Structure 1
Amino acid sequence: MSWLKEAAGGGPLPPYVDNSLEGKVPDPRIPNRMVANKPANRPFLAYHEYREKQEALHAAWLKKKQEREEKIAGGEKVGPLERDPTAQEEVGVLGLLKFIVLLLLFASLAGKFITGSYTWEYESKWTRLKTYWPTNQRLFSLNLLSEYDGTTANRPTYIAIDGDVYDVSKGAAYQPGGSYHILAGHEGARAFGTGCFKTHRTHDTRGMSESELRSLAHWKNFYVEHKDYVKVGRVVLPPIDPASPIPEHCDPKKARQSDGKKPARDSVTEAKVSVATEETKSTAGKHDEF
């Protein structure tokens, strides 16, 4: 055995060391079992450590709750029960709104990345900030409105329909030479209903038929929904004298039908109410915009 002593340097042999447990930790699931503390196991070990802490906190809270109930049973005054530190927070209205905002933000960024547009190339007045936060809303007189007829450089083109003023500068049909330029700078509620653009540039809607009132309602909705025409204000309209004559229709047949017949004010009011309850429909090819 001399060779063994020589291998050991002539002295006593070192004690035996079991290196099989080096770098290992107890398995949190199985007693008396060790697992390697390698990177692949660390998330698993950290999760079980977190669970143990949560269970300890919950057990401490249950103990405080029991002690509080015992004091209440004994007639002692106690304060409010503390919230369970391990309870999951409920998603309230604020949390739901936050989720919706984040979802819309993600969808917008995805649209910008994929299509180059935050709205996925969808264009509508509802995608513009001015629709929800109108600016430059002003009050016009008929004389002031007439100055915005598209004939002055660097000045927008406006029209009015039933008191609402719209900027139609992006519409070529409203510029000089266009088919609707005759309405630029004017209130034309009656003209939109009857089609008499030259003679009915007025807000007087007395004597209009139900179909003409439906046509007016259609055009009002047309400007409300149009993506390029923005409402910029209201025009102050003078009251209509009930004793004044009703504007004569530009169509001779319709003019003869209504000649000398002045409808009662109640019937006109009833016609307007009935129109408001019907769906706005486009008049068949009557005033299609170019």
Structure 2
Amino acid sequence: MSWIMNPEGDRATGTRPAKPAEDEYPKVSDPSDASRMVSTKQANRPFLNYSTYRAKQQKEHDAWVQRKTEREEKIARGEKVGPEEPDPTEEPEVGCLGLLKFIVYAFVFILLAGKFFTGSFLWELELPNLKQFIPTNQRLFSEQMLAKFDGSDPGKPLYIAIDGDVYDVSSNRATYGPGGSYHIMAGRDAARAYGTGCFATHLTHDLRELSEKEMKGVQHWKKFYADSKKYAKVGRVSHPRSTPQAQ
């Protein structure tokens, strides 16, 4: 409650507020209003420096205009003149080379930043499989035709199929060729075996009555081959409409 009894605070009676510090910086004419003076204190210096720069630029430009006028007058009188002088105050435009350099620097910076923050130059992004955008001469195979590309003939490519899609696995003959662990899948569409894991009786394309888990297995391997950068899709295999169901 002391503030009620003493609203002036604890300041000694009769004392006056201290005067604000006087501006001791030199004063110059205000570039925007010559009739007033402004201080050269730190807060005003950017504006004053820019005004000085603009005044210098204007002076150089006016001198260039004068020289250009004199040159044109000499040309009108038929006198010889030198090459035309460009405006020294004109801001240079960013050309194609400058723009290209900026793009390259920005690209390199983004790559390095990705490596620093995520450990991957591509920011852990997966590039799309570009093979799907490249036109190919894909073929339609019959089951008999596909069987000829099982790797038994070294002069022919090595193909496998899964759920109708045919892929060239010639780059991995050690696995899919004769003697390889997956040679049993070569030259045929063994989509059912990809889901069930049974390589004895399920080497067929028939996917009827597979469980949800087994169908997910088939879809997993379809995606594996579709996204693979090693195995290219070369066509489709046509199956007979009525095929006995695998047991």
1:30 alignment partner, SS class = helix
Task: Identify the residue that residue 19 of structure 1 maps to in structure 2.
Answer: none
1:207 alignment partner, SS class = coil
**Shift in Å at residue 235 of structure 1?**
0.5
Query: Partner letter of residue 226 of structure 2?
Result: V
Of 216, 228, 235, the residue aligned with 2:218 is: 216
Superposition misfits of 4+ residues, deviation over 4 angstroms:
31-35, 124-128
TM-score (norm 1): 0.44
Of 9, 30, 36, the residue aligned with 2:59 is: 30
Q: Evaluate the alpha carbon distance shift between residue 197 and residue 103 of structure 1 in structure 2; reply closer, same or farther with a 3 A threshold.
A: farther
Distance 2:241 2:61 in 1: 96
Structure 2: which 5+ residue stretches go unaligned?
A: 1-55, 68-84, 93-98, 112-120
> Would the aligned equivalents of 2:60 and 2:88 in 1 still touch at CA under 8 Å?
no
Deviations 1:204-251 (A, max 9, x none): 11111111101000000010111101000001111135xx4x322xxx
Q: Evaluate the alpha carbon distance shift between residue 125 and residue 143 of structure 1 in structure 2; reply closer, same or farther with a 3 A threshold.
A: farther
Distance 1:126 1:211 in 2: 27
Task: Identify the residue that residue 246 of structure 2 maps to in structure 1.
Answer: 247
1:45 alignment partner, SS class = coil
> Would the aligned equivalents of 2:165 and 2:237 in 1 still touch at CA under 8 Å?
yes
**Shift in Å at residue 127 of structure 1?**
6.2
**Shift in Å at residue 155 of structure 1?**
0.9
1:201 alignment partner, SS class = coil
Of 230, 233, 249, the residue aligned with 2:232 is: 230
The two structures, once aligned, show a CA RMSD in angstroms of: 4.0
2:188 equivalent to 1:193: no
Q: Report matched runs for 1:31-180 at 5 Å.
A: 45=88, 47=90, 126=128, 128=130, 130-171=131-172, 172-180=174-182
Q: Evaluate the alpha carbon distance shift between residue 157 and residue 208 of structure 1 in structure 2; reply closer, same or farther with a 3 A threshold.
A: same
> Would the aligned equivalents of 2:167 and 2:225 in 1 still touch at CA under 8 Å?
yes
> Would the aligned equivalents of 1:164 and 1:231 in 2 still touch at CA under 8 Å?
yes
Q: Evaluate the alpha carbon distance shift between residue 173 and residue 28 of structure 1 in structure 2; reply closer, same or farther with a 3 A threshold.
A: closer
Identity among equivalent positions (%) equals: 45
Distance 2:177 2:159 in 1: 10
Q: Evaluate the alpha carbon distance shift between residue 103 and residue 197 of structure 1 in structure 2; reply closer, same or farther with a 3 A threshold.
A: farther
Distance 1:186 1:125 in 2: 30
Structure 1: which 5+ residue stretches go unaligned?
A: 1-26, 51-98, 112-119, 249-290
**Shift in Å at residue 198 of structure 1?**
3.0
Distance 1:199 1:107 in 2: 54
2:137 alignment partner, SS class = coil
**Shift in Å at residue 200 of structure 1?**
1.3
Task: Identify the residue that residue 284 of structure 1 maps to in structure 2.
Answer: none
> Would the aligned equivalents of 1:189 and 1:204 in 2 still touch at CA under 8 Å?
yes
> Would the aligned equivalents of 2:176 and 2:185 in 1 still touch at CA under 8 Å?
yes
Q: Evaluate the alpha carbon distance shift between residue 133 and residue 152 of structure 1 in structure 2; reply closer, same or farther with a 3 A threshold.
A: same
User: Aligned residues, how many?
Assistant: 151
**Shift in Å at residue 131 of structure 1?**
3.0
More strand by share: 2
Query: Partner letter of residue 208 of structure 2?
Result: R
Deviations 1:244-275 (A, max 9, x none): 4x322xxxxxxxxxxxxxxxxxxxxxxxxxxx
Of 209, 217, 223, the residue aligned with 1:207 is: 209
> Would the aligned equivalents of 1:150 and 1:156 in 2 still touch at CA under 8 Å?
yes
Distance 2:90 2:61 in 1: 19
Distance 1:174 1:220 in 2: 16
